[in-house]
C-alpha cells in the first residue's frame, strides 16, 4: 500500500523527499497497532481466542496467545466478527485536494490604500476508499493550512487548523469530502517601513483511525519530509509561527521607525 | 335730456295695438313652452347601467419567463446590517474516539485536542467567557445604523456628542437605545489594540466586514470588575492612546463613575478629563505609541478589600487606522525602558491573556511599546 502511494506521488511530479515521509509512516503505522486479544466465533459455534493480524484476500490472519499463526476463512466467521473486522481493517485511501482562491468582499468606501485585503483559500479534500473490504469505522482528519510570511525567510504561520470526522460508507461509494478555509492578507505596515502579512504556504492532511494510528498523510509542502516534522506540526495551534524544521519561532513584530 | 326721459316713461299713447298683441303672445308662448320644458325634464327617466354583452375570448397560454436566473445571483444588499453567527460553536463535533493519537513516530504525541475554534479568539474578545467572573464583557454599538439595523447617517461630531452624553450619564444604556447594538457580546481580559486597519474591526461581533457595513462611527463598551492585586492600598494610573476613542472609568469605594483615563484622539471632547489630561508625564517627553503619542491618566487608589466596577469605551469615528492601547502603571514599581526611554508598561488585564491572542497582539505591536507578559493582573477571582 505504501509503495502504491509513493508511486502515485512520484508520478504526480511531487518532491522526492516525500519518500522518507511515507517510508517512515509505514513503519510507524505498523508499530502503532494495538493487538487486541478477543474470542473469534465461527458460524457453527466454534471459538478461538486470538489477536487480529491482517486480512488476506478471503482469510483472516490471527495469532493465538501462544504465538501460533492461524488463518480463518472470512465467509465462515460470525456476524459479530465480520462487524469487528469492518472497524479494524485499515482501509486503503486515495486523497485529492482541490484549492480555490477568492477575494474577501470589502467595502470600497472604506478600504485603506495600504491594505490589500484578505484572500480566502478553500481546500476541498476528497477522500475515497480504494480497498474492497468495507470500513465502518470513523477516521479523524486533521487539516492544517499554513501561510508563508512575506519578507521573512523560512517563516510560516498556522492559519487554519481543523479536525473532521471521516466515514466511508459503502452506500456513498466509500467517499467523504470536507473543506476548510484559511485567510491570507498582505499590507503595508502603518509605519511605512515594510510590507507584512502572509501568502498561501501549503497544507497538511493527516488521517488517523480510532486508535490514533495514522493511516494516510497528504501534503503539498515539499519540506515536510519526515514523520518527526509532521508530528511537530500537528501539535501547533492556530497562529503559531514555525520554520521548515517545524520548530516554533517567535512572533515577528513590526519594525520601529524613528520619528 | 329731461325731454327724452319723459318720452320713454309709461305706455306711449298712440302706439300701434299690434305691438301690444305681439308682446302678449310672446309672453304666453314663453310661459307655456317653459312649463313644458320643465315638465318634460322632470319626467325624463334616469339612465340605467346595462352590462355589455359577454365577449368570448381565447384562453391565454402561460409561458415560462425567458429570463435565466443564475444560481450564484444574490439579492442586492440593502442598507441594513444583520448580525451573523451569534452563537459560536466548535466547527467540529466528533464521536468519541479512543486514544488521543499516537503520531507518526509512535508514543508521546497527544494528537489534536478538541477545542473551540481558536480563530474566534480575536483582539476584541472571545464569544465565550475565557475567565468567568474576570471577563470584560464588550458590547458593540454602531451609530451609523438604527436599532433595527437600518442605515442612518451619523456625523463625526454627532458621534462625539453621543459618546460624551453616554459617559456623562453614568453609562446609561438608554442613551444608546436608538442605535444598533450587536446581540453578540465578546469576552476579553484586556483592552489592547495595537494600530491596525479599522476596516476589519467589528467583524468579530458578527458584523459583516464586507460591503454591507460601513465600519465607521462605532464603539465598544467593555464592562467588568477589578480588584487590586496588592494586600494594601496601592495607586495606579493608566497610560495609552486611542484612535479614536479610549475612555476608562471606575466605580466603587471613593469613586463613582470617575473617569480616570481619556486617551481619545485630539479632535474629540468625550469627557471633562480631556481639558486637564496629562499629556507629558512627569515633565518628560511624549513617547510614541503606535502611530501617535501616548497619554497618561489620573492616579487612582485601589483598596485591597474593595471590588470596583470598570467601564472602558473604545471606538472608531471616520475609519482608517484604529488603536486602543490601555496599559497600567503601579506607583513605585520599577520597569524596563525601551530605546525611546519610555517605561515598558504592562497591558491592563483582568485575567490571563490566551496565548493565541497574545501572539496576535504581538504580531502588530512594535517591540518595547508594551509588556504583554507582565504578571500584573486585576482579577477578582
Q: What is the pLDDT of residue B264?
A: 92
For residue B119, what is its C-alpha cell? 480563530
Nine-digit cell string for A78? 460470525
| β pairing state of B300-302 and B234-243 | antiparallel
The yes-or-no verdict on residue B324 having pLDDT over 80 is: yes
What pLDDT sits at residue B15?
52
Mean pLDDT of B330-341: 93
Q: How far apart are CA A259 and CA B290, in angstroms?
A: 11
Q: Averaged over B174-189, what is the pLDDT? A: 95
pLDDT at B92: 36
Contact A190 B97 (CB under 8 A): no
Is the pLDDT at B111 greater than 70, yes or no? no
**Nearest CA to B174 among B127, B141, B198?**
B141
Q: Chain A, 198-217: which have a CB under 8 Å from a chain B CB?
A: 208, 210-214, 217
Q: Over range B108-112, report the average pLDDT.
A: 38
Residue B217 Cα, gap to closest chain A Cα (Å): 12
What's the pLDDT score for residue B277?
Answer: 55
Confidence of residue B70 (pLDDT cuts 50, 70, 90): very low
Q: Which residues of A touch B111 (CB under 8 A)?
A: 142, 208, 212, 234
**Local confidence band at B27 (pLDDT 50, 70, 90 cut-offs):** confident
β-sheet with A59-63: strand ranges across: A37-41, A47-56, A59-63, A69-73
- Range with the lowest mean pLDDT among B207-211, B220-224, B233-237? B207-211
pLDDT at residue number B97: 35
Residue B60 has pLDDT above 60, yes or no: no
The yes-or-no verdict on residue B195 having pLDDT over 60 is yes
Question: Considering CB atoms only, which of A107, A253, A254 is closest to B199?
Answer: A107
pLDDT score of B21: 76
Q: Is residue B352 scored above 90 in pLDDT?
A: yes
Q: pLDDT at residue B4 above 70?
A: no
**Which of A186-195, B139-148, B156-165 is predicted least confidently?**
A186-195
Average pLDDT over residues B128-139: 89
- Are the C-beta atoms of residues B238 and A132 closer than 8 Å to each other? no
Q: Quick count: other Cβ atoms within 10 Å of Cβ A48? A: 13
What is the Cα–Cα distance from B60 to A83, expressed in whole angstroms? 63
Select from A181, A224, A221 the least CA-distant residue to A201: A221
HEC string for B301-358: EECCCCEEEEEEEEEECCCCEEEEEEEEEECCCCCCECCCCCECCEECECCCCCHHHH
- Please name the residues in contact with B108: beta carbons below 8 A apart, sequence gap of 6 or more: B102
- Interface probe for A, chosen from B94, B103, B202 (most Cβ of A below 10 Å), is B103
pLDDT score, position A30? 36
Across the interface, of A111, A164, A208, the residue whose CB is closest to B92 is A164
> Can you give the C-alpha Rg of chain B in angstroms?
42
pLDDT band for B222, please (50, 70, 90 cuts). Answer: very high
Confidence band for B99, pLDDT divided at 50, 70 and 90: very low
Averaged pLDDT for residues B246-270: 93
Asked if pLDDT for residue B355 goes beyond 60, the answer is: yes
Give B315 or A22, the one with higher predicted confidence.
B315
Buried b (16+ CB within 10 A) or exposed e, B227-259: bbeeeeebebbbbbbbbbbbbbbbebbebeebb
Residue spans of chain A under pLDDT 50: 1-33
| B33 CB-near residues (< 8 Å, 6+ apart) | none
**A 136-195 residues with CB below 8 A of B?**
138, 140, 142, 160-165, 187, 190-191
Contact A163 B197 (CB under 8 A): no
Query: Do B321 and A32 count as a contact with CB atoms less than 8 A apart?
Result: no
Q: What is the pLDDT of residue B378?
A: 97
Q: Which of B104, B210, B211 sits opposite A24 (nearest CB)?
A: B104
Distance from CA of A207 to the nearest CA of B (A): 10
Q: With bands split at pLDDT 50, 70 and 90, how would you rate the model's confidence at B286? A: confident
Interstrand relation of A214-219 and A195-208 (parallel, antiparallel or unpaired): antiparallel
B205 — pLDDT class (breaks 50, 70, 90): confident
The complex scores an ipTM of: 0.83
Shortest Cα distance from B190 to chain A (angstroms)? Answer: 19
CA quadruple B377, B369, B344, A149: dihedral sign: positive
> Residues A41, A60: contact at Cβ < 8 Å?
no
Of B350, B325, B372, which is closest to residue B194 (Cα–Cα)? B325
Looking at residue A180, what is its pLDDT? 96
Contact check, Cβ <8 Å, A239/B118: yes
In this prediction, residue B81 has a pLDDT band, given cuts at 50, 70 and 90, of low
- pLDDT level of residue B301 (50, 70, 90 thresholds): very high
> What is the pLDDT at residue A116?
85
Amino acid at each position: 500500500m505504501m509503495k502504491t502511494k509513493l508511486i502515485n506521488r512520484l508520478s504526480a511530479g511531487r518532491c522526492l523527499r516525500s519518500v522518507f515521509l511515507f517510508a517512515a509512516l509505514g513503519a510507524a503505522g505498523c508499530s502503532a497497532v494495538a493487538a487486541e486479544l478477543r474470542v473469534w466465533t465461527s458460524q457453527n459455534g466454534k471459538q478461538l481466542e486470538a489477536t487480529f493480524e491482517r486480512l488476506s484476500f478471503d482469510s483472516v490472519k490471527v495469532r493465538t496467545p501462544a504465538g501460533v499463526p492461524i488463518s480463518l476463512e472470512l465467509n465462515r466467521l460470525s456476524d459479530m466478527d465480520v462487524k469487528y473486522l469492518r472497524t479494524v481493517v485499515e482501509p486503503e485511501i486515495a486523497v485529492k485536494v482541490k484549492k480555490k482562491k477568492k477575494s474577501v468582499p470589502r467595502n470600497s468606501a472604506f478600504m485603506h490604500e495600504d491594505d490589500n485585503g484578505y484572500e480566502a483559500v478553500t481546500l476541498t479534500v476528497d477522500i475515497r476508499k480504494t480497498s474492497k473490504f468495507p470500513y465502518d469505522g470513523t477516521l479523524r482528519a486533521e487539516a492544517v493550512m499554513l501561510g508563508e510570511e512575506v519578507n521573512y525567510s523560512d517563516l510560516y504561520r498556522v492559519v487554519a487548523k481543523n479536525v473532521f470526522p471521516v466515514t466511508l460508507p459503502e452506500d456513498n461509494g466509500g467517499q467523504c469530502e470536507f473543506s476548510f478555509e484559511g485567510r491570507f492578507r498582505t499590507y503595508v505596515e502603518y509605519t511605512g517601513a515594510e510590507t507584512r502579512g502572509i501568502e498561501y504556504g501549503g497544507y497538511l492532511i493527516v488521517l488517523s483511525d480510532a486508535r490514533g494510528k495514522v493511516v494516510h498523510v497528504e501534503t503539498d509542502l515539499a519540506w515536510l519530509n519526515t514523520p518527526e516534522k509532521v508530528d511537530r506540526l500537528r501539535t501547533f495551534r492556530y497562529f503559531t509561527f514555525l520554520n521548515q524544521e517545524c520548530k516554533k519561532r517567535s512572533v515577528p513584530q513590526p519594525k520601529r521607525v524613528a520619528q | 335730456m329731461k325731454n327724452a326721459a319723459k318720452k320713454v316713461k309709461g305706455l306711449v299713447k298712440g302706439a300701434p295695438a299690434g305691438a301690444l298683441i305681439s308682446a302678449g303672445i310672446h309672453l304666453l308662448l314663453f310661459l307655456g313652452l317653459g312649463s313644458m320644458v320643465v315638465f318634460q325634464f322632470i319626467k325624463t327617466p334616469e339612465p340605467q347601467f346595462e352590462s355589455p354583452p359577454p365577449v368570448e375570448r381565447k384562453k391565454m397560454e402561460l409561458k415560462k419567463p425567458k429570463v435565466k436566473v443564475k444560481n450564484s445571483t444574490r439579492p442586492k444588499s440593502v442598507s441594513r446590517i444583520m448580525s451573523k453567527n451569534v452563537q459560536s460553536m466548535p466547527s467540529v463535533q466528533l464521536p468519541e474516539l479512543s486514544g488521543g493519537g499516537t503520531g507518526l513516530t509512535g508514543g508521546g504525541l497527544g494528537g489534536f485536542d478538541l477545542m473551540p475554534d481558536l480563530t474566534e479568539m480575536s483582539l476584541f474578545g472571545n464569544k465565550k467567557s475565557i475567565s468567568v467572573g474576570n471577563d470584560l464583557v464588550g458590547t458593540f454599538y454602531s451609530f451609523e445604523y438604527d436599532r433595527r439595523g437600518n442605515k442612518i447617517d451619523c456625523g463625526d461630531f454627532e458621534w462625539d456628542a453621543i459618546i460624551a452624553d453616554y459617559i456623562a450619564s453614568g453609562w446609561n444604556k438608554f442613551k444608546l437605545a436608538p442605535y444598533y447594538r450587536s446581540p453578540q457580546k465578546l469576552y476579553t481580559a484586556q483592552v489592547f489594540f495595537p494600530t491596525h486597519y479599522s476596516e476589519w474591526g467589528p467583524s468579530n461581533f458578527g458584523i459583516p466586514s464586507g460591503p454591507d457595513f460601513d465600519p465607521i462611527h462605532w464603539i465598544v463598551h467593555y464592562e467588568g470588575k477589578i480588584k487590586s492585586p496588592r494586600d494594601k492600598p496601592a495607586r495606579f494610573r493608566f497610560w495609552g492612546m486611542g484612535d479614536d476613542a479610549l475612555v476608562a472609568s471606575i466605580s466603587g469605594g471613593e469613586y463613582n463613575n470617575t473617569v480616570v483615563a481619556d486617551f481619545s484622539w485630539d479632535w474629540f471632547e468625550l469627557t471633562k478629563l480631556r481639558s486637564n489630561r496629562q499629556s507629558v508625564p512627569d515633565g518628560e517627553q511624549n513617547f510614541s505609541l503606535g502611530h501617535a503619542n501616548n497619554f497618561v491618566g489620573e492616579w487612582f487608589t485601589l483598596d485591597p478589600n474593595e471590588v470596583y466596577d470598570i467601564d472602558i469605551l473604545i471606538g472608531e469615528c471616520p475609519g482608517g487606522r484604529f488603536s486602543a492601547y490601555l496599559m497600567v502603571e503601579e506607583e513605585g514599581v520599577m520597569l524596563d525602558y525601551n530605546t525611546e526611554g519610555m517605561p515598558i508598561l504592562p497591558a491592563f488585564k483582568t485575567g490571563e491573556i490566551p496565548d493565541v491572542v497574545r501572539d496576535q497582539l504581538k504580531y502588530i505591536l512594535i517591540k518595547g511599546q508594551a509588556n504583554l507578559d507582565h504578571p500584573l493582573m486585576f482579577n477578582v477571582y
